[in-house]
Amino acid sequence: MNSIFLAACGRGYYGVECQQECGHCHDLTKCFHTNGSCLTGCEAACQYGFFGPGCLHECNDTCDGCNRFNGSCDSGCNPGWQGYECQDACDTESFGDNCSRTCGHCRDVNHCSNINGTCLTGCDVGYHGVLCKTPCPYGFFGQDCADRCSDTCDGCNRFNGSCDTGCNPGWQGYECQNACDTGSFGDNCNDTCGYCRDMDQCSNINGTCLTGCDAGYHRDLCKTPCPSGFFGPDCVDQCKDACDGCNRFNGSCDSGCNPGWHGYECQDVNVALNKPAYLQDPWPWGGDDIDASNAVDGRKSDLSGGGGQCAVSDFGQTATWWVNLTTIHSIHNITIYFMTENDLQGKVTFYSFIFSLW
């Protein structure tokens, strides 16, 4: 009887004539020589970032992991890198995954981080933010938007600070460097100042009269005429009681005097006006006494005896009339106004005294 002796294959091989290579056995000496089974289990794969025998080598930092056998960048590059072995940084002005993102407005585009797009030396004029892609907010301009627009500008050009969008109220000129001309204020200097006491003190911004109003006007803009009874700067002076209103500029009694007063400035008073008066034998005209009070009612024209505008006595001799001035006065003059009508209505057979007093 013949016998066949089968020797074990060499390390790492199995099968007939030991020509087949074992798999990734944990221990290649434990690769079963007949069918290649790993008797002690499979070899563990390298951890992320390592490769080679025993996984002792670190992958290139630019690789997104690497081939665990030879370290090649099979799975791609980390952000900021490109090339077969991820050996090249992104081209100028690009960054990120697969170098697919565009850098912002960096002050120096050569200093845009190829990894995250940060502008390492700051932003160019007109932009701010980490990536320098955000335009300057209202009121700011320049590199990194660090400069503030002029207070006279309505915002400004975010690149150079010029007042391209116009001026704030009260200012004019290409750079809004000039205040409104004297007598004007507001948006585009289109509004007209009021009656300021000093026109040079009209606010170019809101038209307020900083030193008050000229005579005849009041309120903030000094465009409102004085109300009745007041005059002068800011309308703070009161018209005289004797005036029927007054000139709002100088207080003169242009519109006349109140009852009982007369003279150019209503400086003279009729002290007898509406004071208690008495008359001897008032004449009963039409059943009503034409009594003494009619002589002190302030009437001094178009006087009629029968119309109740005069005091009338029918005392046949010297009639007596008197008035109680209620206090002591220094009398300047007394004027007696007699009846002005011509019709005596026939013959009068008695004495009559028909008059008004001023």
Query: Residue 331's pLDDT is what?
Result: 81
- In the chain, the number of structural domains is 2
Look at residue 307 in the predicted model and tell me its pLDDT: 56
pLDDT for the residue 332? 79
Residue 148's φ and ψ, nearest 5 degrees, are -95, 135
The answer to whether residue 251 sits within a structural domain is: no
Q: Is residue 287 part of a domain?
A: yes
Whether the predicted pLDDT of 5 surpasses 60: no
Is the residue at 170 inside a domain?
no
**Does residue 346 have a pLDDT over 70?**
no
Residue 286: the pLDDT is 56
Residue 298 resides in a domain: yes
Residue 226 lies in a domain: no
Q: What is the mean pLDDT of residues 48-71?
A: 88
Does the structure show a pLDDT above 50 at 246? yes
What is the pLDDT averaged over residues 233-256?
A: 94
Whether residue 26 is contained in a domain is answered as yes
User: Per residue in 296-330, pLDDT tens?
Assistant: 777 776 666 555 667 777 766 777 888 888 888 88
> Could you report the per-residue pLDDT of 62-91, keeping only the tens digit for each?
999 898 888 899 889 999 999 989 999 999
Residue for token digits 């007596």?
320
- Higher-confidence residue of 103 and 302: namely 103
SS3 assignment for the chain: CCCCCCCCCCCCEECHHHCEECCCECCHHHECCCCCCECCCECCCCCCCEECHHHCEECCCCECCCCCCCCCCCCCECCCEECCCCCEECCCCEECHHHCEECCCECCHHHECCCCCCECCCECECEECCCCCEECCCCEECECCCEECCCCECCCCCCCCCCCCCECCCEECCCCCEECCCCEECHHHCEECCCECCHHHECCCCCCECCCECECEECCCCCEECCCCEECECCCEECCCCECCCCCCCCCCCCCECCCEECCCCCEECCCCCCCEEECCEEEECCEEECHHHHHCCCCCCCCCCCCCCEEECCCCCCCEEECCCCCCCCCCCCEEECCCCCCCCCCCCCCEEEEEC
pLDDT, position 118: 97
Predicted confidence (pLDDT) at residue 345 exceeds the cutoff of 60: no
Domain that residue 275 falls in: 270-358
244/260 Cα distance (integer angstroms): 11
Residue 94: inside a domain: no
Query: Is residue 343 assigned to a domain?
Result: yes
Tens of pLDDT, residues 160-182: 999 998 999 999 998 999 999 99
- Residue 100: pLDDT over 60: yes
The residue among 199 and 273 whose pLDDT is bigger is: 199
pLDDT of residue 336: 75
Average pLDDT, the chain: 86
Q: Please report the pLDDT score of residue 28 as a whole number.
A: 78
